[in-house]
Amino acid sequence: MSDPVFFEPARRYSAGEIAAAVGASLADASLADVEILGVGPAAESREGTLVYVNGKKNETHLAQTRAAAVLCRAEVASSVRAGVATLVARNPQQAFAAAARLIYPQSVRPLALTGETGVSRAPASSRARSSRRVPSSARAPRSAPARWSPPAR
């Protein structure tokens, strides 16, 4: 079974383009042309993805990552596997969110699920049911709401 895809990338970006757009710096400028196809979690990195690691807590993911690029802080940048574009940012999580908005611009402009007007028309069967009135004698009696009182001491 294939993975569900919620949004398609707007286009392919290079690590250099992403770094410039989010205010990060490339640790190795020779990897600026590495192609980024999407984003993903650091623990489940895939080829062509951009991942982020916010600090030393998840540093273990960096040595074996299969991602094309990693957004991280300078303190863990040396742990990134060779050949992976390392984008150094002061706040990797914020930079990752900005990169995701760039790669998936339609994700920040959701469409109505109910049509152009945002109002769905009820199916004919439910309109028919709602037209039937229940006589007041058949309804459950309404009772007054229970009052709360503090427990006895």
Classify residue 62: in a domain, yes or no.
yes
Classify residue 15: in a domain, yes or no.
no
Classify residue 80: in a domain, yes or no.
yes
C-alpha–C-alpha distance, residues 57 and 76, integer Å: 10
The pLDDT value given to residue 4: 58
- Output the pTM of the full model: 0.66
Strands 38-39 and 35-36: unpaired
The pLDDT value given to residue 18: 93
**Residue 30 contacts by C-beta under 8 Å, 6 or more apart in sequence?**
none
- Three-state DSSP at 63 gives helix
Residue 118 has pLDDT above 80, yes or no: no
- Three-state DSSP at 85 gives strand
Classify residue 67: in a domain, yes or no.
yes
C-alpha–C-alpha distance, residues 86 and 47, integer Å: 14
CATH of the domain at 99: 3.40.1390.10
Classify residue 103: in a domain, yes or no.
yes
CA-based end-to-end distance of the chain: 61
Classify residue 10: in a domain, yes or no.
no
The pLDDT value given to residue 148: 66
Residue range 14-72, pLDDT digits in tens: 999 999 999 999 999 999 999 998 888 887 878 888 988 887 777 777 878 888 899 99
Classify residue 144: in a domain, yes or no.
no
The pLDDT value given to residue 56: 78
Classify residue 1: in a domain, yes or no.
no
Confidence class for position 1, pLDDT limits 50, 70, 90 = very low
Residue range 91-112, pLDDT digits in tens: 999 999 999 999 888 777 766 6
How many domains, in total, are found in the chain?
A: 1
C-alpha–C-alpha distance, residues 105 and 65, integer Å: 26
- Name which of 17, 66, 77, 1 is nearest 9 in CA terms: 17
Q: What is the mean pLDDT of residues 3-13?
A: 71
Look up the domain containing 68 and give its range. 25-107
